[in-house]
Amino acid sequence: MSDAPEPWSVAGSFAVGGLTDIGFVPNSDDLLVISSQGRGLFDTLSGEKLSRDDDEFFDNPDSTGLSAPGIGRANDVTVPLAGLHGGGLSRCTKDGWMIDVIHLPWPRHVLFLSSNYKPCYDESGNSWKICHDGVCEYRMAGFSPSGRAFVFASSCELVIYGRNAG
């Protein structure tokens, strides 16, 4: 494992027991996290937890689990989700950063970050192995809509990486 390369750094790391799904609020860098203990809303640019709802059984009109109502400043928004129930997040930014999650022999998953539109197996030196799911189960990884943040979520942890606008 290595640290994320410049301009990326860890913006926040949170223990989230029973994490099932995550999703970016449309047109923002805010992330909704669904767990067995309720919902949380995070600003992925600052790494700050913005809101918390401890209700495990919140009213969700989407029985598929692929979206959920937001909380806090995303209270009136339906957020698309990805994780245990399916769905997906962006794996590439407009400026060439890419995420690959490699499924090793069960139950291990490793996240690679690469630049210049290079895949993780490219030997140009543009790929870094930066995190893994450890003792928890991998849920989802992906970039925010702006491409200024990305997340790696497992069943017990959320790691947020961010970068400056440049």
Which residue has 């290595």 as its token pair? Answer: 2
pLDDT in tens, 1-34: 899 999 999 999 999 999 999 999 999 999 999 9
Cross-strand pairs, 50: none
- CA atoms of 139 and 151, how far apart (whole Å): 11
What are the φ/ψ torsions at residue 72 (nearest 5 degrees)?
Answer: 60, -130
pTM (predicted TM-score): 0.93
User: What's residue 165's pLDDT?
Assistant: 58
Q: Over the stretch 69-80, which tens digit does the pLDDT of each residue have?
A: 999 999 999 999
- Judge whether 12 and 157 are in contact, CB under 8 Å: no
Query: What residue spans define the domains of the chain?
Result: 9-162
- pLDDT tens digits for 54-94? 887 888 889 898 999 999 999 999 999 999 999 999 999 99
